Amino acid sequence: MASRPRNPFTPGFGRHPTIVVGRDEILADAREAFGDDWHPTRKMLLQAHRGSGKTVLLDEIQDIATAAGWLVVQEDAGTRDTSISARLTTRLLSYLDEHDPDARRRITGGSVSVLGIGASVSTELSDDHDSPGGLRETLEAVLDLDDGRPTGVLLSIDEIHEASRDDVHAIGNAIQHLDRSSQPIGVLLAGLPPDADVEKEPTFLSRCHAPKIEILRDDEIEQGLIETAATAGWVFDSDALELAVNTTAGFPYMMQLVGWEATKVTRRRREGTAITYGDVALAVPEARRTLARSVLFHIDKRLTPTEKEFLVAMAHDSGPSKMKDIRERMGQTAQYVNVYRNRLLDASLIQQIKHGHVDFAVPGHRAELRADVGYAAAQASHARRND
């Protein structure tokens, strides 16, 4: 018997999808950024919740920069053994070692502490330079190379929400110094939206170009499902495709989950490569369980009590919620409730359907909140107010 086609869907975090759909405008801006003498998109901050596709965008933009001749230096802020500045500097020093050992030796003539947190980078800086100088001087040396000089340098940092404020300031200072000198420098950052109850994010982050990473349109999800399946010879029946698109609700990670689980069910149920409505229907519960465990749990941990209350008030409805009903359930003024509506819109946790109507943006969030003990308590409180 011939071997069955592979499963082409990739629902694991950090896994690059076989087919990338949507985000055309963001990627078009990136292509312009690395082709111009200067472009604001070279300082980009991608903020969105897990499963929204920001790491995929990070990878795509890095590929665009590399194709344009830029040196991409990538790090993850979630690794806390040393500061990000120190790790970036070390990578740049390795590049100098390959292309101009003399330049590296000039940089590594002395030694200073980076941020004073245990990591150190050897430099030849004079005493009047502050700690960001290690990164700045090394960047300048790379951009000064006679042989092996890249078109520019892009510092790419994932999980930036895990970085300390000192680290963010250090990187920002180095970038801004080189930017003022008209050097071809860029920074690409990706991370979770800031918590509403923490101090204001560093100024450098607020000055970065921050495109809104919205949910995908139905036609983009349909394209992603069809084209991804086709790479391994699978095909969705029309009614199966419709159910898969509706279940995904525009969420990139959910598209991968539904596609993966549906393909897995099909492989186990029969020969052939047609994914049926029944296959998708059997796949949906497991896809939703995985989404709740890996995405919704982490989203709910980051919500303030009032943001959670707003979402619980929405969960009373089986479809889009009217703002006036949410205000009534929360027992608050329109001005007060609108503050939290705007926060949740900015965080891409809800979407405005039409004037005065909002709905959940992450599939399964309504059901997850309804299973929470707070939902039952909210229902009881609402019923008492209406007695």
Q: Which of 280, 300, 320 is a domain's end point?
A: 300
**Whose CA is closest to 57, among 66, 47, 67?**
47
Give dist(CA 241, CA 222) in Å, integer. 7
Residue 5 lies in a domain: no
Contact 112, 121 (CB under 8 A): yes
| CA atoms within a 13 Å half-sphere pointing along the CA-CB vector of 128 | 0
Instruction: Let me know if residue 371 belongs to a domain.
Output: yes
Would you say 109 and 96 are in contact if contact means Cβ atoms under 8 Å apart? no
Name 187's bridge partners. Answer: 43, 155
Does residue 51 sit in the same domain as residue 63?
yes
Number of domains in the chain: 3
Tell me whether residue 387 is in a domain. Answer: no
Rounded to 5 degrees, what angle do the CA atoms 229, 231, 237 make? 30
CATH of the domain at 324: 1.10.10.10
Residues 313 and 287 in one domain: no
- The verdict on pTM exceeding 0.85 is no
Question: Does any domain span residue 158?
Answer: yes
Please tell me whether residues 87 and 162 are part of one structural domain: yes
Distances in Å between the alpha carbon of 177 and those of 50, 70, 312?
A: 32, 19, 46
Q: Which pLDDT tens digits describe the chain residue by residue (387 residues)?
A: 456 789 999 987 767 888 888 899 999 999 999 987 778 889 999 988 888 888 889 999 999 999 999 999 999 887 667 788 889 998 999 998 888 777 677 776 644 333 333 333 333 333 333 333 489 989 999 999 888 889 999 999 998 988 888 888 889 999 999 988 889 999 999 988 876 555 567 788 888 999 988 889 999 999 999 999 999 999 999 999 999 999 998 889 999 999 999 999 999 988 889 999 999 999 999 999 998 888 888 888 888 899 999 999 999 999 999 999 999 999 999 999 999 999 898 777 888 888 999 999 888 888 888 887 555 555 555 555 555
pLDDT, position 80: 66
CATH number of the structural domain spanning residue 252? 1.10.8
Residue 377, domain extent: 303-381
In a domain? residue 1? no
Residue 378 has what pLDDT? Answer: 56
Largest CA distance in the chain: 82
CA 21 to CA 24: how far, in whole Å? 8
Answer yes or no: is 248 within a domain. yes
pLDDT at 116: 32
CA proximity to 344, closest of 386, 315, 383: 315
Q: How far apart are CA 222 and CA 283, in angstroms?
A: 17
Q: Which of 268, 300, 332 is the endpoint of a domain?
A: 300
Q: Is residue 13 part of a domain?
A: no
Residue 143: CATH number of its domain = 3.40.50.300
* Domain identity same for 121 and 268: no
Q: Within its chain, how far is the Cα of 6 from the centroid? A: 27
Distances (CA, A) of 149 to 69, 95, 180, 234, 353: 9, 10, 20, 45, 50
Residues 231 and 256 in one domain: yes
Residue 285 and residue 288: Cα distance in Å, rounded?
Answer: 5
Residue 330 counted as domain residue? yes
Asked whether residue 287 falls in the same domain as residue 353, the answer is no
Same structural domain, 78 and 154 = yes
- Whether 284 and 163 share a structural domain: no
